[in-house]
Amino acid sequence: MDASDDIDLLWAPRPDELPDWFREALAVPREEGFIDVDGTRIHYFRWGDRSRPPVLMTHGFLAHARCFAFIAPFLAEKYHVVAYDLSGMGDSDNRPGCDADARGAELVGVAEALALFDGPAKPIIIAHSFGASVGLTALSLAGERFSGLILCDMMVLRPEVLEERGRQGSTRPGSGDPDKPQRRYPDYPTARSRYVLSPPQAAGEAFLMDYMAFHSLRRSGDEWTWKFNPEVFRQDNAQQGWQGVGKRLVATPGRKAIVYGEQSLLFTPDSVDYVRELGGTDIPIIAIPKAHHHLMLDQPLAFVTALRTILEIWHTDNNT
């Protein structure tokens, strides 16, 4: 599979004008497929030599694995990289009755199904936003099977900050109405106009916003609609315990690192202080300059550099 599978004239009418680094990243060979995890069909991508140390990546709420499709290739020279769609999102089927524990078990199940536990090196998890909370759950369920977790701009705010934002009308991650029918649009431009990021922000690289939007949608007859299943709102609303996520982050056993956007609304400089106050003094915390919550859409190459650095340090530590 190469870049032609991801680059469509609907979102990229002038593909030759896309940056070389992006087209070269998508041209890196990858495997795409589906696996069964506890009866649910899960979509995944795989890059790199399977004999290399494994890395497992997952995404934020209502997003999909392609948010790493232009990030993972930069890791594939040294690592065996897998990115998957959380159930009910992207091209994965929905998992009925899914809760936080089920999502964590699903991540472990993906690693099992793709033989990431079979080599001498344990997998490292890289997870963004909501997916980072899934990663924490996986560590709590099977921490001895993983080598570490890189949490990428997961929401970690003091409880009083969350309460104040709630009073100001800010919605929490994962909010939505599962009983509303999936919206349908008469054509792609109309559907594209309704794609927004949460929390709202302009993407630092606008073409990446177009890329993510296109792959968040699917054709349905002559219309367009979203790929995610509305049931994920019922399953995931309020279950993550955002008020206590800071304590949970610090208390969960296992090696952890944090990468966040310097201009993020969900992990702020005060979040750094909060994690340290809770006892997370041994957790490396790296800020990506000029990035908001969606690191890979704002500063993709700086994000790659941060991930490479953490992986290299951890891999070196494992071999000394």
At 55-92, the pLDDT tens digits run 999 999 999 999 999 999 999 999 999 999 999 999 99
d(CA 99, CA 237): 10
d(CA 61, CA 230): 12
Per the CB < 8 A criterion, the answer to whether 286 and 306 are in contact is yes
Tokens 């409880």, located at residue: 159
Report the mean per-residue pLDDT for the chain. 93
Contacts of 230 (CB under 8 A, 6+ apart): 176, 177, 178, 179, 180, 181, 182
Structure tokens at 91: 């091209």
Is CATH 3.40.50.1820 what the domain over 3-318 is classified as, yes or no?
Answer: yes
Helix-then-strand count for the chain, H and E? 11, 11
Peptide bond into 199 cis (omega under 30): yes
Contacts of 148 (CB under 8 A, 6+ apart): 124, 125, 254, 255, 256, 257, 314
d(CA 148, CA 123): 7
Per the CB < 8 A criterion, the answer to whether 285 and 267 are in contact is no
Give the CA dihedral 296, 136, 279, 172, nearest 10 degrees: 70
User: 0.85 exceeded by the pTM?
Assistant: yes
At 186-217, the pLDDT tens digits run 999 999 999 999 898 888 999 999 999 999 99
